C-alpha cells in the first residue's frame, strides 16, 4: 500500500470508527486520545477530552499535536506548568518556577 492509499484507508475506514469510539467514551466520562500515522510525520488525531481529566491525558494530546517537534512540546509543557505549577526537576532546571504564576 502506498502512503496515499494508507491515508485514504485511514480517512475512509479508521477515522470514522475512532470518532465513534471517542464519542462513546465521552458518553461514559472517559477521555480519549488516538493517533494514526500513515507515513512518517503525517498523522491523524482523534481526541475527546472530558472536563474532569488528569494531566497525563493532556500531555499525551500535547505530544501528538507536537508531531515530533520537541520545541513545540516543551513550550506547551512550560506554558501549562506556569499556569498550574509542576513538580518537574527538568522544568525547574529550565527556570520554570514550581508554583503557578499569580494573576
Query: Could you tell me if residue 68 is inside a domain?
Result: no
Position 31 confidence tier, pLDDT thresholds 50, 70, 90: very high
Q: How many domains does the chain have?
A: 1
Query: Could you tell me if residue 31 is inside a domain?
Result: yes
Position 103 confidence tier, pLDDT thresholds 50, 70, 90: low
Query: Could you tell me if residue 12 is inside a domain?
Result: yes
Angle at 20 between CA 2 and CA 61, to 5 degrees: 75
Greatest Cα pair distance, the chain, in angstroms, is: 53
CB 31 within 8 A of CB 61: no
Query: Could you tell me if residue 90 is inside a domain?
Result: no
What domain range is 33 assigned to?
3-51
10 CB neighbour count, 10 Å cutoff: 18
Mean residue pLDDT across the chain: 94
pTM over 0.75: yes
Write out pLDDT tens, residues 61-102: 999 999 999 999 999 999 999 988 999 999 999 999 999 877
Query: Could you tell me if residue 83 is inside a domain?
Result: no
Amino acid at each position: 500500500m502506498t502512503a496515499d492509499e494508507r491515508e485514504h484507508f485511514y480517512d475512509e475506514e479508521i477515522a470514522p470508527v475512532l470518532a465513534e469510539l471517542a464519542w462513546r467514551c465521552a458518553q461514559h466520562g472517559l477521555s480519549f486520545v488516538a493517533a494514526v500515522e500513515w507515513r512518517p510525520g503525517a498523522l491523524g488525531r482523534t481526541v475527546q477530552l472530558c472536563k474532569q481529566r488528569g494531566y497525563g491525558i493532556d500531555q499525551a494530546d500535547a505530544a501528538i499535536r507536537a508531531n515530533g517537534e520537541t520545541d513545540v512540546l516543551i513550550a506547551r509543557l512550560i506554558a501549562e506548568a506556569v499556569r498550574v505549577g509542576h513538580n518537574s526537576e527538568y522544568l525547574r532546571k529550565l527556570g520554570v518556577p514550581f508554583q503557578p504564576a499569580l494573576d
